[in-house]
């Protein structure tokens, strides 16, 4: 377990949150023009790297709001937390 600093509620235990996957996935501008393989890549293919990753999280057992986290997946160290729509802070 680790602590996440919800930008709306403050520090809480990770068990109060739900991970929402990779952050900053841009929807294709013309989805109807994509091939089936390109559409499948957009829907299902994520980086899922070992190291620094930008993720979406939801405070599901709290304020229920979504926000972004920069987290090192190798050790769960959180480098930054920021609200949806904000630009990621530079490290």
Domain ranges for the chain, please list them: 3-83
In whole angstroms, give the CA distance from residue 36 to residue 39: 5
Helix (H), strand (E) counts: the chain? 1, 6
Q: Which residue has the tokens 């709306």?
A: 8
In whole angstroms, give the CA distance from residue 4 to residue 20: 14
Written as tens digits, the pLDDT of the chain (91 aa) is 899 999 999 999 999 999 999 999 999 999 999 999 999 999 999 988 899 999 999 999 999 999 999 999 999 999 999 999 999 988 5
- CATH for 3-83 is 3.30.2270.10
Instruction: Read off the pTM.
Output: 0.86
- The confidence score (pLDDT) of residue 21 equals 93
């Amino acid at each position: 377990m680790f602590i996440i600093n919800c930008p709306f509620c403050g520090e809480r235990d990770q068990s109060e949150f739900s991970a929402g996957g990779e952050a900053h996935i841009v929807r294709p501008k013309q989805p109807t023009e994509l091939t089936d393989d390109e559409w499948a890549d957009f829907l299902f293919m994520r980086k899922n790297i070992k190291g620094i990753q930008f993720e979406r999280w939801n405070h599901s057992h709290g304020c229920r709001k979504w926000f972004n986290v920069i987290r090192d997946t190798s050790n769960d160290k959180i480098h930054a937390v920021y609200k949806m729509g904000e630009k990621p802070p530079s490290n």
